[in-house]
Amino acid sequence: MSAPVLDLAVDTPGAERMGFFTDTTVCIGCKACEVACKQWNDLPADGAAWAKGPSTYDHTESLSASTWRHVRFVERLAPSPEDRVAARDILAAGGGGGVPDIPAARGGAAPMPSVEALGGAGAGAGAGEMPDLVSMAERASSGSATNGGPGGDRGGPPNAEGFDVRQAVENMDRWIFMSDVCKHCTNAGCLDACPTGALIRTEFHTVLLQPDVCNGCGYCIPACPFGVVDRDALDGRAGKCTLCYDRLRDGMEPACAKACPTDSIQFGPYDELVDRARGRVIELERRGFDGAYLYGAGDEPGQELAGGLGAFFLFTEPPERFGLPAQAESPIQENVVPATLAAVGAGVVAAAGVAVAFLASGRKP
Judge whether residue 59 has pLDDT over 80. Answer: no
Confidence of residue 14 (pLDDT cuts 50, 70, 90): confident
Q: pLDDT tens digit string along 263-297? A: 999 999 999 999 999 999 999 999 988 889 999 99
Q: pLDDT tens digit string along 228-263? A: 999 998 899 999 999 999 999 999 999 999 999 999
The pLDDT value recorded for residue 286 is 93
The predicted model gives 312-337 an average pLDDT of 78
Tell me the β-bridge partners of 21.
266, 312
Query: What is the Cα–Cα distance from 12 to 249, expressed in whole angstroms?
Result: 10
The pLDDT value recorded for residue 351 is 65
The predicted model gives 62-78 an average pLDDT of 87
3-state class (DSSP) for residue 261? coil
Of residues 34 and 300, more confidence is placed in: 34
Amino acid occupying residue 227: G
Residue closest to 71 by CA, chosen among 40, 43, 36, 41: 36
Phi-psi region of 97 (alpha: psi -120 to 50; beta: other; left: phi over 0): left
HSE (side-chain half, CA atoms, 13 Å) at 182? 28
Average pLDDT, the chain: 77
The pLDDT value recorded for residue 324 is 93
Q: Say which residues have a Cβ less than 8 Å from residue 87's Cβ, sequence separation at least 6.
A: 79, 96
Q: Are 239 and 68 in contact (CB under 8 A)?
A: yes
Judge whether residue 120 has pLDDT over 90. Answer: no
Judge whether residue 205 has pLDDT over 70. Answer: yes
* φ and ψ at residue 247, rounded to 5 degrees: -70, -40
Percent of the chain with pLDDT over 90: 45
Query: What is the Cα–Cα distance from 276 to 262, expressed in whole angstroms?
Result: 16
Q: pTM for this structure? A: 0.66
The pairing of beta strand 265-269 with beta strand 238-239: unpaired
